[in-house]
């Protein structure tokens, strides 16, 4: 799977994802730091990358409807410090192998992952 790590997350997520067999890059890699959300979304669409972010704007399905992008992961943690963000990603790595992400929004909290979009079961 291909991921793009947003500027509000630690770059240490890239090797974590790569060690799990994923292709990962950052917004820094393309000089998209400070770019408007839509520019980051367009880059993810063009590259077929899932955006991983702590920007809660991406959890608004009215502005970013599931199914219209390769998928997104929003870390919605009580404490948005580097150790908590890395721990949250380590926790969900096994889910990436078993749970569809394409066209879906994953909202990752401390004790659960809420998934929006996709086909109803």
Mean pLDDT of the chain: 90
For residue range 13-24, list pLDDT tens digits in order.
999 999 999 999
Position 110 pLDDT exceeds 90: yes
Asked if residue 86 belongs to a domain, the reply is yes
- Give the range of the structural domain holding residue 104, as residue numbers without chain letter: 2-116
Residue 54 in any domain: the answer is yes
Domain for residue 108, yes or no? yes
| pLDDT at 120 > cutoff 60 | no
Residue 121: inside a domain: no
Q: Is pLDDT above 50 for 79? A: yes
The answer to the question of residue 100 being in a domain is yes
Question: How do residues 43-70 score in pLDDT, each as one tens digit?
Answer: 999 999 999 999 998 888 888 888 878 9
Under DSSP, the state recorded for 35 is -
Residue among 74, 55, 54, 76 nearest 66 (CA): 74
User: For residue 121, what pLDDT is reported?
Assistant: 36
Number of domains in the chain: 1
Residue 81 lies inside a defined structural domain of this protein: yes
What percentage of the chain reaches a pLDDT higher than 70? 97
Does the predicted model carry a pTM greater than 0.75? yes
39 found inside a domain = yes
Determine, yes or no, domain membership for 27.
yes
Cβ-count burial 45-61 (b if 16+ within 10 Å, e if not): eeeebbbbbbbeebbee
């Amino acid at each position: 799977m291909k991921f793009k790590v947003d500027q509000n997350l630690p770059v240490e997520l890239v090797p974590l994802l790569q060690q799990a067999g994923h292709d990962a890059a950052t917004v820094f890699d393309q000089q998209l730091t400070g770019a408007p959300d839509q520019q980051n979304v367009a880059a993810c669409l063009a590259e077929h990358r899932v955006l991983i972010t702590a920007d809660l704007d991406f959890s608004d399905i009215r502005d970013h409807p599931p199914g219209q992008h390769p998928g997104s992961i929003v870390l919605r943690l009580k404490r948005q410090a580097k150790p908590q963000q890395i721990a949250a990603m380590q926790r969900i790595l096994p889910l990436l192998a078993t749970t569809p992400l394409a066209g879906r929004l994953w909202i990752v909290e401390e004790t659960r992952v809420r998934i929006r979009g996709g086909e109803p079961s």
